[in-house]
A and B are shown apart, each in its own frame.
Chain A
Amino acid sequence: MKKFTLLLGLFVVACSMISAVYVHKGYHVGDVAEDFSLKNIDGKMVSLADYKEAKGYIVVFTCNHCPYSVMYEDRIIELQKTYGAQGYPVIAINPNDPAVQPGDSFEDMKVRAKEKAFNFAYLFDEGQKVFPKFGATRTPHVFLLDKSRTVKYIGAIDDNPKAADKVEETYLVDAIKALQAGKNPEPSFTKAVGCSIKIAK
């Protein structure tokens, strides 16, 4: 028993050493995302479970102020038009603390959603509890989940933030199409430049 305790102790020490080198931040592809309940711009609380007919979920961490988010607004509206109708709704979440980032308050979100006629839920991560669970680090940052909330793709919408007409790789659309075909997206993880998430001080 003593030996076992010692081994267990060593194991714990070894694990903590490993985690000091590589810190697991949020979900990886293959993890099952926890559902959440966040306030939408219409004042109603929204959960993934509310989408009874969903075959999957396009969770996008985005915001008002970030120019990269703004450049993708029209593309996110198009995604909702096309893939929302096919059972893959867009759920946008603003992860920023408005006290740190002017322009990203709940009221500002309502204004922007109206201006751009957002056709998707635009939720406020009040208290900043949800984005760390996902491991979102920037805006925009996409997490594509399947019906059972398993994370299937993490990353960018496509490979050209500046010019939608010069996109060569439609990462997110390809990932959705893979799910529709019963396959795993490839690539399942991409990176993009974006604005850091503004955290409460």
Chain B
Amino acid sequence: MKNLLFSFLACFFAYTSSGQSTPIKVYHSFDEMEAAILKHDNDTTYVINFWATWCGPCVKELPYFEAAAAAYAGKKFKMILVSLDFAEQLDKKVIPFVKDHKIQSEIVLLDDQQANKWIDRISPEWSGAIPITLVYQGEKRAFYEKEFHSVKELEEIINPFFNN
């Protein structure tokens, strides 16, 4: 019995420590991704970060996003990391990266090459360079084309969404 309990616990920890438990959803069309994650009309605050495994500044700031997600746990808050890696790189690059970095936040992958058609729909202010971060709650939106350097810096842009 003890052995069984032990192996159960071992399995449990192996499962949770592997990081992301939900598979990464791949979108080949911006429209579909937009409908799924950018149009929620409720009182949850969503932080959407666009990144890629090949993007140095993006990789550097990811731990702050993970820490922020943990800080807002239990609140009406959702962090989604949108990878702009190519769909072909999912198994070879993105999944190993997520495992190595033990990323807990939800990750989706957007591989819609016609960026000129959708960049302005994220924000007309976006030049196309990553990383970018979008915070929204219903109609209220804030957009940042920059690299964040601390959790505090992120909290400063998220907190206003909780104080009204």
Contact = CB atoms under 8 A, between A and B. Distances in A.
Given A67-B54, A193-B84, A195-B55, A159 B116 contact: yes
Contacts of B119: 191-193
A137 B128 contact: yes
Nearest to A136: B127
B67 to A, nearest CB: 22
Interface string A180-198: 0000000000111111111
Contact of B113 (A159, A171, A195, A198): A159
B86 A191 contact: no
A66 B58 CA distance: 13
Interface string B41-63: 00000000000001111000000
B129 A194 contact: yes
B128 A162 contact: no
Contact of A138 (B116, B129, B147): B129
Contacts of B31: none
Interface in A60-95: 66-67
A162 B114 CA distance: 10
Contacts of B127: 137-138, 191
Contacts of A163: 113
B126 interface: yes
B129 A197 contact: yes
Contacts of B128: 137-138, 191-194
B75 to A, nearest CB: 30
A191 B126 contact: yes
Contact of A137 (B113, B129, B147): B129
B92 to A, nearest CB: 14
A56 interface: no
Contacts of B57: 196, 198
B101 to A, nearest CB: 19
B153 interface: no
Nearest to A171: B116
B120 interface: yes
Contacts of B84: 193
Given A67-B54, A191-B119, A191-B120, A160 B113 contact: yes
Contacts of A168: 114
A196 B72 CA distance: 29
Given A191-B116, A197-B129, A198-B56, 19 more contacts: A66-B54, A138-B128, A155-B116, A156-B116, A162-B86, A162-B111, A162-B113, A171-B116, A190-B116, A191-B115, A191-B127, A192-B119, A193-B119, A193-B129, A194-B128, A195-B55, A195-B129, A196-B130, A196-B147
21 contacts: A66-B54, A101-B56, A137-B128, A138-B127, A156-B115, A160-B113, A161-B115, A162-B111, A163-B113, A169-B116, A191-B115, A191-B116, A191-B120, A191-B127, A192-B128, A193-B128, A194-B129, A195-B55, A196-B55, A198-B56, A198-B57
Which 4 pairs across A and B sit closest by C-beta, in order of nearness?
Answer: A138-B129, A137-B127, A196-B129, A191-B119
